[in-house]
Amino acid sequence: MSRALFQPKLADDWQTAVADLLVRLADDELVIGHRNSEWTGLAPILEADIAFSSMAQDEIGHALAYYRLLHELGYPDPDTMAFLREPQDFRCASLVSIPKGDWSVSIVRQFLYDTAETVRLEALCDSAYEPLASLARKLRTEEKYHLLHGKTWLHRLGDATDESHRRVQTALDLLWPHALGLFEPTRWDRTLANERIQPSEPTLAQEWRARVEPLLTDASLVAPEGVEPLFGGRVGRHPPSLAELIAAMQKVFRLDPGAQW
């Protein structure tokens, strides 16, 4: 399918900027939802198994909501966006793309991601684009439970045994540059800020760090210093693991896209 299909010409720069933002938000949610679902039946305790499965459903539902807003701006329907694009057409950050790893990696990723999402949703609640602001206000109420889950597990593992502390700190060191990549600047930053759609990515990143670092300290963890962000996801450059995930996620739909499920 032609990539041009996923880049409709919109009337104004601000509309194109909003569409670009919505693609990023939707793709992040879809992919992290799929990653979280990989813990179904495998989490270390039943409570965690249920929690990750529930969060996976929430994130995929949020992706659907963002794709619906995109559809209103002239993009294809949500199923087409989710199941008929190639990996290079996705605009998700590398943090959500990399494999789930062990439990410590998934917990740290969830904490870093959900803190970033909370910061962004709070900003979007005041967006001048009312459909997005209205959606952000709804999603923020659900995300607070995701963040609470991540913070609880972070403290539980960070302050437990020497081994659990080591594993979580190692996961944090691994994931930190990927987490910084959530705030990759795009060509539309200035338009989004000038039109009061959302603050710039560096502004959001600064607020994220201000919230994350004290929580890490409380869990006896240390935020890595001098680490360069891993950018590229917002322009379609992804780790090989994303292609594997997309292939698995799209397999059934691509067998017969016209089927009525």
Out of 1.10.10.10, 3.40.50.2000, 1.20.1260.10, 3.40.50.300, the CATH code matching 3-255 is 1.20.1260.10
Residues ≥6 apart with Cβ < 8 Å to 154: 107, 108, 111, 168, 215, 216, 219, 221
Spell out, as residue ranges, where the chain has pLDDT lower than 50: 1-5
Please report the pLDDT score of residue 127 as a whole number. Answer: 96
Please report the pLDDT score of residue 209 as a whole number. Answer: 97
Taking every pair of Cα atoms in the chain, the longest distance, rounded to a whole number of angstroms, is 57
Please report the pLDDT score of residue 1 as a whole number. Answer: 42
Domain ranges of the chain: 3-255
pLDDT digits (tens, 9 = 90+) for 114-140: 999 999 999 999 999 999 999 999 999
Rounded CA separation 56/228 (Å): 29
Give the torsion sign (CA, 256, 69, 138, 187). Answer: positive
Other beta carbons less than 10 A from residue 9's beta carbon:
8
